[in-house]
Structure 1
Amino acid sequence: MKRTPFLAAGGIALLVASPAVAGARKSITPYIELGQVLTADLQSGDVLTYSTASAGVDATISTRNVEVQLSYNYQHNFSWDKRYGDDDLHSGLARASVKVAPGVSIDGGALATRARSDIRGAAPAVPVGRQDNVTQLYSAYVGPTVATEVGPASLNASYRFGYTKVEAPGATGVAPGSPRLDNFDDSKTHLATASIGIGSGHGLPVGVTVSGQYERDDASQLKQRYEGKFGRGDVVVPVLPTLALTAGAGYEKIEVSQKDPALDGATGQPVVDANGRFVTNEASPRRIAYETDGLIYDAGLVWKPSPRTTLQARVGKRYGGMTYTGSLSYAASRSIGIQIAVYDSVDTFGRQLRDGIAALPSSFIDQRDAFSQQFSGCTFGQSNIAAGSCLNGVLQSISTASYRARGVDAVLSANRGPLSFGVGAGYANRKLYAPGGVGYTVYGVTDQSYYGQAYVSAHLDRNSGINGNLFVNYYESGLSNAPAVFSTGATASYYRNFGRVGTTLSAGLYNFSQDGFEDQTSGQAQVGVRYSF
């Protein structure tokens, strides 16, 4: 049974509440859409035709106290081929911030998209027919943020509750005899942070901040539990009008644990349910997948040569070794923005996805793509000071194990008159943590991926325009005999509006290959008509 996504319900609730704000500037456009699609397997020559019916809403509200953007689409595919059943797709992103009192806001975000389950498996781009290794996921977070002044000190605190749900993927396209990985089900996360700081010049030649954090993530698979907490102090030493040195130290404790899977008495292998998820052995003790307990420290610099440019870089010791993190935000002009982030953290899938959604721009460009799930890659911002961010690193595969996530994301976004374009690229590396010796283990296995994405949109006149998208991905698993996977694709579309009626003509070409398997290349064409209310 297909679930009704909470993305639409949460977004509609925000939209209903928002018009009460005096002077609200709002744009809310519900729509319905019909389409006819032809897809062809260019290897086998098979041709499949199907029809689509979809409904959705695009909404933006921007006032002094309210910032909301929502783009959501539900699509049902009607197959004309008895070999394939009908299918449902949910795609959407919501970002919201509502100021409820001076210094107090409620912030939230939600995502619905499709993503690959197993990094070793298939990487199809066509959302119909054989959909090995693709699953629907939903994720959302919400919570209050407080920022206030207490004398010369700045006080900040926040709480976030997050929830992530993933449907079972079915077949993964992994070679027979490969080690079985369990399928993520759902998780709940709690994150509480607080800090108090005094800037330089208030009785001290340096800025001083004391902060603390507590976080917990409970996943249903094998009752995995992440619990982490830290407290630390940081100082910022101005050395030039545009340059400051920073250093910090503190204490951190992280523990990730889970129970054993139930084992088959005859084979000694883990027992799985109908959805391919491991059945938990409720009588087993908790086993440690990862733990660290001790001193953390780092040092770095903050360089801000102009209001348009900020560079931060840090190096230190954490997670039992060296860590390197940094970021660059550069508004190259009024219409061009660049953002780069280097990250290093011990994470779980639910926590990293929650943080990834929160890092997406609150004012984003809706790249309408008739064929693929646009929000599973890079999302580009409409502002030069918020160029965008990418979810490719967390969605390279859906990991049930905890892991150390390291990588880099870079995004460029440009908007000028009738033309907008964006480019995103990155690298992601995961070192997996799980208890060993009980039926299965992925401990120490390292996965990695490289990815790139580009889009362009141009208005030809007030009623018509063209869009283009290009993506490329490379996935590599550290599991023995796992094939490398390469996928690429390109789409183009032309649209023309006639009042409330809009028409679209789209085409796409896709390819993915797995070492040891035959390449899969496919093409698509679609004609669609939309009515906006």
Structure 2
Amino acid sequence: MKTPYLASAATAVALFGAAPLQAQSYQGADSGSAGSAAEGVSTGGGRTSIDPYIEANSLASWQISPGSDVVTYTQLAAGVDASIAGRNNGGSVSVRYERNFAHQSNGADSDTITGVARGYASIIPRVLTVEAGALASSTRVDAQGRSVINPIVDDTLSTQTYSAYAGPTLQTRAGDVEVNANYRIGYTRVDSPDFITATGTAADLFDESVSHSASVRAGTRPGQPLPVGLGVGAGYYQEDVSNLDQRVRDAYVRGDVTVPVTPTLAIVAGAGIEDVEVSSRDAVRDAAGNPVIGDNGRFITDEASPRIIAYEASGLIWDVGVVWSPSSRTQLEARFGHRYDSETFYGSFSWRPSSRSSLQIGVYDGIQGFGGRLNNSLAALPTDFTVSRDPVTGELTGCVSSIDGSGCLDGLLGSLRSSVFRGRGVVGSYSRQIGRMTASIGAGYDRRTFIGAPGTVLELADGLVDESYYVTAGLSGPVGQRGRFSVNSYANRFESGTAGAEDVTAIGGSASYSEEVIRNLSARAAVAISMLDSDIAPDNFTTASALLGLRYDF
């Protein structure tokens, strides 16, 4: 099975916020992602902003290589950007619907919906909070499953990804003991074109999954009442993937201790017992023993077949590390230990040298499916953020930025294999206000080792490693009293572990300018260029695009 390369120029990525971990945090399925369900919550003093808009644009897309072809489009779009920051609730949302009408017969009409949302509401202030998040992302593929840089393509070449999560968080005290608990349910779905099946490349493509995550911890701080802090906690994670009825189960119980060394530095250690199991069923087989593929391009699950264990690990887990917090603006946590029958390392670093700049770095390690990872990434975003979009396609790109920190788009969508995987990597982002301008840069590395049960079709993916490298940068700001500009660039590298499959590199950039003509009505102009280099293709796939249009903000 070849890997479906779904890393388009605009959305070869998924959301992963490098939010700081809380001290003594532990996630049963993904160490180093979000220490608690409420981790990204931002509080404010009462501010609401709602900006609905409509756009009418003219686009030209020039395929520079291979060959030379120009297609023009009329683009109509509607969307809303909103944020709220109150005493007991907060959140941000950016959603956009776009319809493109081709003017030439060699073009194709298309429509997409993209957006990201994250918010919370306090049921009992400072005690019980409910939070939720959602993502809609559009990715383009070609008939070989490779990326297509051209932002305007037929809907039959479009893959739409949807993900959402919600759940409550409890934080309370019983004397000197702090009690924290949370639960989260998530859902992720990928709608992909059927044509991929005909090429034999997409039988391994993710369909949908439902995930559940719950944890509880009770502990004391150093000096309250003992010289050291003590804690005990438990957690449970389960993800059910529709492809071949895959299931991830992870349950743990552990204790931890915090030993202060200085007022700002502490040594932390923990140990416990964890039980992890990954299992699946086989596909329906025809008379010749070949797996049967359904109309949706995925293997048909043999519900009568027995559940087969793909991976299991049960026994002692431990980790040691340091927590350094010299001020409210600087936090570091780093841990090394034993988990999944091997060494593990995870942690985070958060630094806000001033109110105008922020640095976030996160290191993660966990066993999950595609849907579970995407849900964790959403939960790690800040609740007060500004979304960056491609000025031509309107799709999500770059990093979301916030005064409390940033969350960057990483290489999660670079591979949409259905197989459960152990994912390890690092992601970082930096944003800074420079006068009236905002600059940001994000980079990261994602490595996935896939897990497949022996005797099933997923056995072909077992042990394969996919790797993604990515970097994105942007600069935006006002020009005079009525103008605004933005410049964005990106580079992605995807290396497949499948024998004979090609590696893909995507590089591109864009620039845009808008000027308010009259109140609420702006004229817009944008240009973009993108290049995709595949090891198997004789020529690079390069396109240039330009846009002229009007936007009305209500």
- Mark yes or no: TM-score above 0.5: yes
2:357 counterpart (336, 344, 349): 336
1:411 counterpart (429, 450, 471): 429
2:526 counterpart (486, 493, 506): 506
State the secondary structure of the residue aligned to 1:357: helix
1:401 corresponds to which residue?
Answer: 419
Once the two structures are superposed, what CA deviation does each residue of 1:108-156 show, in whole Å capped at 9, x if it has no partner? 11111124779x9422233212689751111111111111111111111
- In 1, the alpha carbon distance for the partners of 2:400 and 2:445 equals 18
Number of residues paired by the alignment? 505
2:536 corresponds to which residue?
Answer: 516
Q: Does 1:154 align with 2:186?
A: no
Q: Does 1:290 align with 2:311?
A: yes
CA contact (8 A) 1:132 1:173 kept: no
Letter aligned with residue 477 of structure 1: S
Moved more, 398-407 or 165-174: 165-174
Q: Kindly report the root-mean-square deviation, in angstroms, between the aligned alpha carbons of the 2 structures.
A: 2.1
Moved more, 178-187 or 447-456: 178-187
Once the two structures are superposed, what CA deviation does each residue of 1:462-517 show, in whole Å capped at 9, x if it has no partner? 32111011000000011101111000110000001231112210000000011120
- In 2, the alpha carbon distance for the partners of 1:130 and 1:509 equals 20
1:198 counterpart (220, 233, 239): 220
- In 2, the alpha carbon distance for the partners of 1:115 and 1:319 equals 33
Once the two structures are superposed, what CA deviation does each residue of 1:138-192 show, in whole Å capped at 9, x if it has no partner? 1111111111111111111111111111101445599x6x765422221111111
Q: Does 1:346 align with 2:364?
A: no
1:81 counterpart (97, 100, 104): 104
State the secondary structure of the residue aligned to 1:382: coil
Q: 1:448 to 1:171 in 2, by over 3 A?
A: farther
Equivalent residues in 2 for 1:252-267, closer than 5 Å: 252-266=274-288
Once the two structures are superposed, what CA deviation does each residue of 1:60-109 show, in whole Å capped at 9, x if it has no partner? 11111111211100101112233443211111111101112131111111
Identity of aligned residues (%): 39
Letter aligned with residue 301 of structure 1: V
CA contact (8 A) 2:391 2:511 kept: no
1:219 corresponds to which residue?
Answer: 241
Equivalent residues in 2 for 1:120-131, closer than 5 Å: 121-129=145-153
- In 2, the alpha carbon distance for the partners of 1:188 and 1:258 equals 15
Q: Does 1:421 align with 2:442?
A: no
CA contact (8 A) 1:113 1:373 kept: no
2:464 corresponds to which residue?
Answer: 445
Letter aligned with residue 52 of structure 2: P
- In 2, the alpha carbon distance for the partners of 1:312 and 1:201 equals 20
- In 2, the alpha carbon distance for the partners of 1:109 and 1:463 equals 33
1:367 corresponds to which residue?
Answer: 388
State the secondary structure of the residue aligned to 1:111: strand
1:382 counterpart (393, 402, 408): 402
CA contact (8 A) 2:145 2:202 kept: no
1:26 counterpart (45, 48, 53): 48
- In 1, the alpha carbon distance for the partners of 2:487 and 2:291 equals 46
1:207 counterpart (229, 246, 252): 229
Shift of 1:415: 2.2
2:474 counterpart (445, 455, 458): 455
State the secondary structure of the residue aligned to 1:361: coil
- In 2, the alpha carbon distance for the partners of 1:159 and 1:123 equals 36
State the secondary structure of the residue aligned to 1:352: helix
CA contact (8 A) 1:226 1:255 kept: yes
- In 1, the alpha carbon distance for the partners of 2:93 and 2:253 equals 36
Equivalent residues in 2 for 1:58-69, closer than 5 Å: 58-69=81-92
1:480 counterpart (476, 496, 499): 499
CA contact (8 A) 1:117 1:183 kept: no
Letter aligned with residue 159 of structure 2: T
CA contact (8 A) 2:181 2:214 kept: yes
Moved more, 269-278 or 125-134: 125-134
2:191 counterpart (167, 185, 189): 167
CA contact (8 A) 1:133 1:170 kept: no
> Which protein has greater RCO, CA pairs closer than 8 Å, 6+ apart?
2
Letter aligned with residue 416 of structure 2: I
Letter aligned with residue 413 of structure 1: S
Moved more, 36-45 or 82-91: 82-91
Where does structure 2 lack aligned partners over 5 or more consecutive residues? 1-44
TM-score by length of 2: 0.87
CA contact (8 A) 1:249 1:298 kept: yes
2:301 corresponds to which residue?
Answer: 280
Moved more, 77-86 or 356-365: 77-86
